[in-house]
Structure 1
Amino acid sequence: MLPAHRQGAYRLRFDWGPSGAAALVEDSDVAVVVDVLSFTTTLTVALDRGVTVYPYRWDPESAAGYAAGRGATVAVGRSRALPGDVSLSPGSVRAAFGPGGLAGAGANRLVLPSPNGSALCFGLADAGVDVVGASLRNATAVAHWLSRRPVSGGSSGRPRVAVIAAGERWPDGSIRPSLEDLWGAGAVLRALGTAGASPEARAAADAFAAAEGDLRTRLRDCASGRELIGKGFGDDVEIAAELDTSAVVPLLRGEAFVDAAES
């Protein structure tokens, strides 16, 4: 990895996917993962309901056993979900863990696999950095938590933050940079301010600022939004557009995300 790609001269950094994360996290204190459609949006919805979330790689065959070992409900893929199932859809999580939803074993624990954001968080678990999940729903809450959190060794005693946009996947498995994750990352970075921000981080913040006034429409019109709407998941796009409606700060502690804002 070339030193220039690490953005090491800056306290606030931005990049894409697992390779971008690998470039930035070595000398960062916190990795903020953004996957707006839909892992980190679903994560905030779950934590809003008091649910502990276990991120997991996209491996449906082993996810069920992983969940069983933790007394948790496992989310299935959207396309495989039957009525009443919990899936990566934030709408399904909101319904399942709300009044009249799930009860009994697994009612407050959820294993949430996804091929992008969740797999990225799962992979970062042993990287030696704090891992935080952010979406448009909780971008400002995450930024405020980071701003109040001094870290020894960081510039001016403040944490060195790597914001990682998960992106989507092309059919060949390569990362497709996605507008919704650029906006989500930019929302966090804009709330953190420009001091110590790399050019990449500033560009993401500028992209969010340009979209903020028409965010809901832009989310529906971008490629990922159109894809979900075409598959019948328009409500998930609407939930993703709930800008700053959540105060949760999902922090990965051990295997699971908990709300750091409550600690």
Structure 2
Amino acid sequence: MTEHATASTATSTAATAASPAHAQAKYQLRFDWAHDGLATVASDADIVVWVDVLPPVGADQHATARDALPHIPESAAVVAGGLTTASAVAAWIIAEQVRLGRRAMVAIVAAGGTTASGGVRFAVEDQLAAGAIVDALAAVGIDYSSPEAAAACAAFTGLRGAVAHLLTASASGQEHVAAGRTPAEIAPAGRVDTVNDVTILRGPSDAE
């Protein structure tokens, strides 16, 4: 990539991050992808939910979340979310909203995968997990969702019965299989609401 192209890309990214429309700012619940999306939708968030169902091969479960933390406003609490913890994350967010005594602004950000050129690759497992969290939040009364969040939710609710299969059959799942993991080792990450504990990457007390 040329220096001019790099500069143009940086300018374009900055403009996108500054756009109120792309920031989904009027919605309580927003959804976007990777670090650029994080910069776009999380600038005024009280809570950021980082979703990475199948981290890169060889990385630990929260590697991408730790990489993302420096890019998340210090005022925001950060939790990890996935298919297994959708309802637990929703319950945690409701409790935090009660603690705040006002409407909590929530940004759900899917890590996605990485392309050969270093760009963001769509990861169906992250889309479905984000949708599962949006659905769980709607069930407890947080439902003022952006169209992006609503579309992720619709993907999950429409495909809920096939989530486990989609996880192992996905590009990310097959990448893990090619690296030596069995489908049986991957499958637990696709079991909805099987974990009650929420991984808090940065707690509210740390954010204040």
Fold shared per TM-score above 0.5: yes
SS in 2 for 1:150: helix
Residue 39 of structure 2 contacts residue 71 of structure 2 at CA under 8 Å; is this kept in 1? no
Are 1:33 and 2:41 matched, yes or no?
no
- The one-letter code sitting in structure 1 at the alignment partner of 2:191 is E
Are 1:16 and 2:25 matched, yes or no?
no
Q: CA deviation at 1:252?
A: 2.4
Residue 79 of structure 2 contacts residue 200 of structure 2 at CA under 8 Å; is this kept in 1? yes
Equivalent pairs, count:
183
Q: CA deviation at 1:122?
A: 4.7
Q: Residues 83-104 of structure 1: CA distance to partner in whole angstroms, max 9, x if unpaired?
A: xxxx62x6xxxxxxxxxxxxxx
Q: Which residue of 2 aligns with 1:104?
A: none
> How is 1:220-231 mapped onto 2 (pairs within 5 angstroms)?
220-231=168-179
Q: Which residue of 1 aligns with 2:89?
A: 142
Q: Which residue of 1 aligns with 2:108?
A: 163
Q: Which residue of 1 aligns with 2:190?
A: 241
Which is strand-richer, 1 or 2? 1
- Where does structure 1 lack aligned partners over 5 or more consecutive residues? 40-76, 79-86, 91-111, 258-263
Task: Report the Cα distance in structure 1 between the residues aligned to 2:161 and 2:96, rounded to whole angstroms.
Answer: 30
- Where does structure 2 lack aligned partners over 5 or more consecutive residues? 1-17
Q: Which residue of 2 aligns with 1:196?
A: 144
Residue 31 of structure 2 contacts residue 107 of structure 2 at CA under 8 Å; is this kept in 1? yes
SS in 2 for 1:38: coil
Residues 143 and 162 of structure 1, relative CA distance in 2, 3 Å threshold: same
Q: CA deviation at 1:150?
A: 2.1
So what's the TM-score if we normalise by structure 1?
0.64
Residue 33 of structure 1 contacts residue 121 of structure 1 at CA under 8 Å; is this kept in 2? no
Q: Which residue of 1 aligns with 2:7?
A: none
Residue 86 of structure 2 contacts residue 193 of structure 2 at CA under 8 Å; is this kept in 1? yes
Are 1:184 and 2:129 matched, yes or no?
yes
Task: Report the Cα distance in structure 1 between the residues aligned to 2:45 and 2:99, rounded to whole angstroms.
Answer: 12
Task: Report the Cα distance in structure 2 between the residues aligned to 1:221 and 1:152, rounded to whole angstroms.
Answer: 40
Task: Report the Cα distance in structure 1 between the residues aligned to 2:128 and 2:186, rounded to whole angstroms.
Answer: 14
- The one-letter code sitting in structure 2 at the alignment partner of 1:181 is D
Residue 30 of structure 2 contacts residue 108 of structure 2 at CA under 8 Å; is this kept in 1? yes
Task: Report the Cα distance in structure 2 between the residues aligned to 1:236 and 1:151, rounded to whole angstroms.
Answer: 37
- The one-letter code sitting in structure 2 at the alignment partner of 1:14 is F
Which is helix-richer, 1 or 2? 2
Q: Which residue of 2 aligns with 1:129?
A: 76
Residues 212 and 121 of structure 1, relative CA distance in 2, 3 Å threshold: farther
Task: Report the Cα distance in structure 1 between the residues aligned to 2:130 and 2:96, rounded to whole angstroms.
Answer: 19
Q: Which residue of 2 aligns with 1:119?
A: 67
Q: CA deviation at 1:182?
A: 0.3
SS in 1 for 2:126: helix
- The one-letter code sitting in structure 2 at the alignment partner of 1:150 is Q
Task: Report the Cα distance in structure 2 between the residues aligned to 1:165 and 1:148, rounded to whole angstroms.
Answer: 23
Q: Residues 74-127 of structure 1: CA distance to partner in whole angstroms, max 9, x if unpaired?
A: xxx72xxxxxxxx62x6xxxxxxxxxxxxxxxxxxxxx5x3x333123532x53
Residues 150 and 199 of structure 1, relative CA distance in 2, 3 Å threshold: same
Residue 149 of structure 1 contacts residue 158 of structure 1 at CA under 8 Å; is this kept in 2? no
Task: Report the Cα distance in structure 2 between the residues aligned to 1:226 and 1:180, rounded to whole angstroms.
Answer: 12
Residues 200 and 161 of structure 1, relative CA distance in 2, 3 Å threshold: same
Task: Report the Cα distance in structure 1 between the residues aligned to 2:125 and 2:65, rounded to whole angstroms.
Answer: 13
Q: Which residue of 2 aligns with 1:172?
A: 117
Match of 2:159 among 190, 194, 211: 211
SS in 2 for 1:31: strand
So what's the TM-score if we normalise by structure 2?
0.79
Q: Which residue of 1 aligns with 2:201?
A: 252
